[in-house]
């Protein structure tokens, strides 16, 4: 009689497990699907916000490109002016520099004090 009860309990638990197993897998499947849907929704929202940010950034910095072009143009103009000044004054500056370096005039420095 005890064995019969044990068999019934084992059969009942096996039957119950076989009934619950599809429910657990179905629940896991639904949870996995919900997680995937949530991830997709989050990604879509992130892309939308990023697109809005790029649009606002472009609107705010839209004139930045033209300013950059103007600055580049002014820089090039100043560089050409400096190059022409360099070409005009190069020989004179080099002559003055060489004359200053090579011209040796022995003198006593004004701060030198003769003791005595």
What is the residue-wise DSSP string for 18-42? HHHHHHHHHHHHHHHHHHHHHHHHH
Q: Which domain holds residue 2?
A: 1-62
Residues 73, 41, single domain; the answer is: no
Residues 12, 35, single domain; the answer is: yes
Q: Is 1 among the domain residues?
A: yes
* Whole-number pLDDT of residue 79: 97
Give the residues of the chain that fall short of pLDDT 70.
1-2, 19-24, 62-65, 116
Q: Which pTM does this prediction carry?
A: 0.38
Q: Is 74 among the domain residues?
A: yes
* Whole-number pLDDT of residue 67: 76
Residues 72, 30, single domain; the answer is: no
Domain count, the chain: 2
């Amino acid at each position: 009689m005890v064995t019969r009860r044990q068999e019934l309990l084992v059969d009942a638990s096996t039957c119950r497990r076989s009934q619950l197993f599809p429910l657990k897998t179905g629940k896991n499947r639904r949870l996995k699907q919900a997680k995937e849907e949530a991830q997709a929704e989050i990604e879509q929202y992130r892309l939308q916000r990023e697109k809005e940010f790029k649009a606002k950034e472009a609107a705010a910095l839209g004139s930045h490109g033209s300013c950059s072009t103007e600055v580049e143009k002014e820089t090039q103009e100043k560089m050409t002016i400096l190059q022409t000044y360099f070409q005009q004054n190069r020989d004179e500056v080099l002559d003055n520099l060489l004359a200053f370096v090579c011209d040796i005039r022995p003198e006593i420095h004004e701060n030198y004090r003769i003791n005595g």
